[in-house]
Amino acid sequence: MSNSLQAILQKLPGPKADTDDWLERLRADALKTISSRDYPSTKEESWKYTSLHALKKSDYLIADEHNSGGLLKKIYSRNDFLEADKLHLVFINGFFQPDLSSDELLQNGINIRPTTTKKADEKYNLETILKTDLTETFSALNILTLCDSLLIEVEKNRIIDKVIKLIFIGESPEPLLKSLRIIVKMNENSEARIVEEYRSHDKDMGFTNVVTNLRLGQNSTLYHHRLQIESMNTTHIGKIDAQVDTGASLYSDSIAMGGKLSRVDIDVSLSGRSAYCRLNGLFTGINDQHIDHHTTIRHLVGDTHSDELYRGILDDNSRGVFNGKVVVSADAQKISARQASNNLLLSKLAEIDTKPELEIYADDVTCAHGATVGQLDETALFYLRSRGISYKDARALLIYAFAEKVIEPIPLPALRQSLENKFLGHNQMSEFIQQG
Amino acid sequence: MLEISDLHVDVDGKEILSGINLTVKPGETHAIMGPNGSGKSTLSHVIAGREGYTVSQGKIVFNGKSLVDLEPEERAGEGVFLAFQYPIEIAGVNNVYMLKAALNGIRNYRGEKELTSVEFLKLVKSKVKAVGLDESLLNRQVNSGFSGGEKKRNEIFQLSVLEPMLAVLDETDSGLDIDALKAVSDGVNKLRDASRSFVVITHYQRLLDYIVPDYVHVLAKGKIVKTGDKELAHALESKGYDWLTDGEESAA
C-alpha cells in the first residue's frame, strides 16, 4: 500500500522487535496499528468536515536534529524570548534549544525535563501515558516520529508563580513533520500556568503533530493556554488528553489563528468528585484557512462540572468546525455541563459547522448547550462610525468585542495584551480598564 | 451651517422624506416635531449617513460641503454628531477606549495630532462632571447594562467630548423620567454657544421646556408643514398634530 502516510513510515528506521525497551515496544505496536492505514477520510464521522487532502498530497520529511533550525537558529538569542516572571523553553523544528531557553529551569518544586523519550524515566509512568490513544492514527504517528518531548512535574503543595511558556517555532521551507509530546503532571494541591505557543516563519511548510497529556492530581489547578499562530502554509494537528482528579480544576484555552489546516482535539476526563474543567476557545480564519476543534468532556463520576465556550470568527473563504461532545456516565448524578458555541461570519463565503453532541446516561444532571451564528451588527457599526471611527477600526473593534468574552478570563495579562493587539493594532484598551 | 434643500429620501424603495427644506445657522437650535412615522428619525439618520437611506433628490450641504457622498465617519470629522434614540450596547468595548478612538479618528480626519491617553483622560475627567455622568460608567463597557437615563447621558457626554458643530438629538427625551430629562437638558444647554447648532427631534413638547429652541418645525408625511417659534410647540401640546396634518392633506 502506498500513500503519503505510508511514505512517512517507510522513512523510519526499522523496528527493533526483540528489545526490552518499553518505548520500542510501544513503537512496534503503533507501527502495527497504522501500517496499513491512510490518514482519516471525510467518510469518518469525526473528520466529516475536515479534509486532509493537503496532508495526503505532501511528501513529508521527518524532522531530526540535523534539520532542527539550520541557519535561522543562529539569528535568535535568549533575550528575544525573555519575559518578566516567565520561564521559557524554546523548540525549533521539534527540538529543544537549551541556548535559547531560560537558564534556570530547575526551580523549587518543579521539574522540567526536556528529554527525548530514549532517556524517558519510568519513574513518571510514561509508558501508561504514552499508550493513550495509540490506536488513533495521529497519536500513533506521533510516537513513531517523535522529536523532543517534555515533561513538567509540579511537586505536591507547590504553587508555581512563574508562567511556564513553551515556544515551538517552525521554520522549514520544505515539508517537515515535527512530532512533539508534552506531559504535565500536577501533584496534589499544586498549581501552575502553562502557555503552549506554536509559531513559525512565513515560509514554513511544516506539519506539526503534537500530543499534550495533562494529569491533574487531587485538588490541583492548571491553567493551560494553547496559542497556535503558525504561518498560512502549515498543517497543525494537536491533541490534548486530560485527566482531572478529585477536586482538581483545569482551565484550558485553545486559541487558533494560524495554519492552513488546523485541527485540535481536546479530551477531558473528570474522574473524581468536584473535578472541574473550563474549556474556552477562540479561532479566527481568513483566506482559505480551515480550523477545526473537537472537544470531549467526560463526566465519569457524580458532582463534576464543566463550562465550555468556543467563539469562531471567520472571514473570506475560511471554514471553521466545532464539535463539542459531552458524555455523562451512568450514575454520574448531580453533574453540570454548560456549553456555548458562538460564531461570527464576516463574509458570505465563510462557513462554520458547529455541533453539540450529548451522550447522557444519568438522570439527575444539568446540561445546557447553545450554538449561534451571526454577522457583524450593522447598527453598532454605524454607531461607531457616526462617532468618527473609521470603517476599518469600527469593524476591528466589534470583532474584538466578540472575541473579548474568551480573552477577558485569561489570567495572563501579557497574553491578553498580545491578543488584544492582534485585533486592535497597538491602540491599547487595557490601559482604560481598571484592574481588580 | 446646515442647508437642506428639496431633500427626498427612500428607504427600501419607499419614499419617506418628500422635499425637506431646512436651514440652520450657527448657534441656532431647531426643534423638529411630528407624529410617529412622519420621517423624523429618517431625517436624523440621513444627516449622519446611515446606510440604506437613499437620497433620490435634493441636497444636504454642511459648511459649504455636500454631505451626501461622505461616509458617516467623514461627516463626524466635518463636525456632525447624532445622539441616538436607542444608544447601542457594545459589550466587550470599554467606554473610554471607544471615545478616544472616536476623538482621534476625528482629529486624524482634520489633520490634527492624536491625543495621548494621558491627555485624553484629563479631558474626559473635566467633561464627565459637566453632564452629571457617574464617573464609574467611564470604565464600563459601552452602554452595556446602563439604564435608559445613563445611556442618554452617555450620548451627551460623548457630545461634550467630541465637540461637534452640529448636534442632532434624536428623541433624546424618550424613556427619561423628569430628573433624567433635566440632567440631560442641562448638559445640552451647557454646550450651546454662538457657533454650535442643534437639531432637536422630539415627539413631545416637554423637552423643549428645558432645551428652548429658536425655531420649531412640524414634520408630517415627509414634509415640513409648519414652522414657528417655541409657541408652536405649546400649541401642538394642547391641540395635537391633527389640525396640521389634516390641513396638509386637504391642501394637497
Please judge whether A379 and B88 are an interchain contact, meaning their C-beta atoms are less than 8 angstroms apart: yes
In this prediction the ipTM stands at 0.95
d(CA A352, CA A291) in angstroms, rounded, equals 9
Query: How many CA atoms lie less than 13 Å away from A211 in the CB half-sphere?
Result: 24
3-state secondary structure of A286: coil
Q: Is the pLDDT of residue B249 over 50?
A: no
Q: Which of B90, B156, B162 has the most A C-beta neighbours within 10 Å, making it the best mutation to test the interface with A?
A: B90
More confident residue, B67 or A82: B67
Res B183: pLDDT: 87
CA–CA gap between residue B7 and residue B9 (Å, rounded) = 7
Region B104-122: what's the mean pLDDT? 94
Nearest Cα residue to A220 out of A131, A109, A335: A109
- List the one residue out of A310, A304, A258 whose CA is nearest residue A279: A310
Please list every residue in chain B whose beta carbon sits closer than 8 Å to the beta carbon of residue A380. Answer: 88, 90
Say yes or no for a CB contact (<8 Å) between B93 and A432: no
Q: How far apart are the first and last CA of chain A?
A: 60
Does residue B79 belong to the interface with chain A, where contact is any CB pair within 8 Å? no
- The residues pairing with A322 across neighbouring beta strands, listed in sequence order, are A293, A354
For A124-150, what is the mean pLDDT?
85
Give pLDDT tens digits for B1-35: 999 999 999 999 999 999 999 999 999 999 999 98
Hey, what domains does chain B have and what are their CATH numbers?
A: 2-251 (3.40.50.300)
Task: Give the per-residue pLDDT at A68.
Answer: 58
**Chain A residue numbers touching B99 (CB-CB < 8 A):** 387
Whole-number pLDDT of residue B250: 40
What pLDDT does A20 receive?
62
| Separation of alpha carbons A384 and A381, rounded Å | 5
Residue B144 CA to residue A283 CA, distance in Å, equals 25
Interface test with A, best of B94, B123, B143, B155 (most A CBs within 10 A): B94
What predicted TM-score, i.e. pTM, was given to this entire model?
A: 0.92
Which residues 395-414 in chain A show a CB within 8 A of chain B?
397-398, 400-405, 408
Q: pLDDT tens digit string along B184-211?
A: 899 899 999 999 999 999 988 889 999 9
pLDDT tier, A429 (very low <50, low <70, confident <90, very high otherwise) = low
DSSP letter, residue B246: H
Higher pLDDT pick, A97 / B162: B162
Q: How many CB atoms lie within 10 A of CB B212?
A: 16
Chain B positions in Cβ-Cβ contact with residue A432 (cut-off 8 Å): 94, 96-97, 100, 117, 121, 138-139
Q: How are beta strands A176-186 and A207-216 bridged, if at all?
A: parallel
Average pLDDT, chain A: 89
Mean pLDDT of B77-104: 95
> How many interchain CB pairs under 8 A, A with B?
99
Cα distance between residue A97 and residue A168, in whole Å: 10
Looking at residue B203, what is its pLDDT? 87
pLDDT value, residue A70: 57
Residue A129: band (very low, low, confident or very high) from pLDDT cuts 50, 70, 90: confident
Alpha-carbon distances of A391 from A77, B54, B80, rounded to whole Å? 40, 19, 17
User: Which residue, A142, A228, A160, A177, is CA-closest to A62?
Assistant: A177
pLDDT band at A147 (very low <50, low <70, confident <90, very high): confident
Helices (H) and strands (E) counted in chain B, each on its own, are 9, 12
Band (pLDDT 50/70/90 cuts) for residue B248 is very low
- Scanning every residue of chain B, which has its alpha carbon at the shortest distance from the alpha carbon of A387? B102
Pick the residue with more confidence: B24 or A116? B24
pLDDT in tens, B49-59: 999 999 999 99
Chain B residues closer than 8 Å to A404 by CB: 91-93
Which chain A residue lies closest to B52 (C-alpha atoms)? A378
- What share of chain A in percent tops pLDDT 90? 68
What does each C-alpha distance from A229 to A73, A144, A266, A417 come to in angstroms? 19, 26, 18, 15
User: Percent of chain B beyond pLDDT 90?
Assistant: 73
pLDDT at B30: 96
How large is the average pLDDT for residues A275-283? 98
Using a CB-CB distance cutoff of 8 angstroms, which residues of chain A are in contact with residue B103?
388
Contact A208, A230 (CB under 8 A): yes
Which of B73, B92, B139 shows the shortest C-beta gap to A391? Answer: B73
Give the side-chain half-sphere CA count within 13 A for A277: 30
Of A343, A399, A419, A349, residue with least CA distance to A374: A343
Over residues A314-327, mean pLDDT: 97
- Strand B2-11 to B53-62 pairing: antiparallel
The alpha carbon of residue A47 and the mean position of all alpha carbons in its chain are separated, in whole angstroms, by 17
pLDDT of residue A436: 30
Q: Which residues of B fall within a CB distance of 8 Å from A433? A: 94, 139
CA distance A336 to B143: 32
For B95-98, which contacts have Cβ atoms below 8 Å and span 24 or more sequence positions? B95/B137, B95/B138, B95/B139, B95/B140, B95/B141, B95/B142, B95/B143, B95/B154, B96/A432, B96/B120, B96/B121, B96/B124, B96/B138, B96/B139, B97/A427, B97/A429, B97/A432, B98/A384, B98/A387, B98/A389, B98/A397, B98/B142
Pairing of strands A290-299, A319-328: parallel
Find out whether B109 and B101 touch, Cβ atoms under 8 Å. Answer: no
Q: Does the CB of A421 have a partner CB in chain B at under 8 Å?
A: no
Of the candidates B196, B201, B208, the residue with the CA atom closest to the CA atom of residue B232? B208
Q: Which of A26-30, A255-259, A288-292, A403-407 has the lowest mean pLDDT?
A: A26-30
B75 touches chain A (CB under 8 A): yes
Q: Is the pLDDT confidence value at A2 over 90?
A: no
A250/A42 Cα distance (integer angstroms) = 31
> pLDDT-based confidence at A432, cuts 50/70/90?
low
The answer on pLDDT for B252 being more than 50 is: no
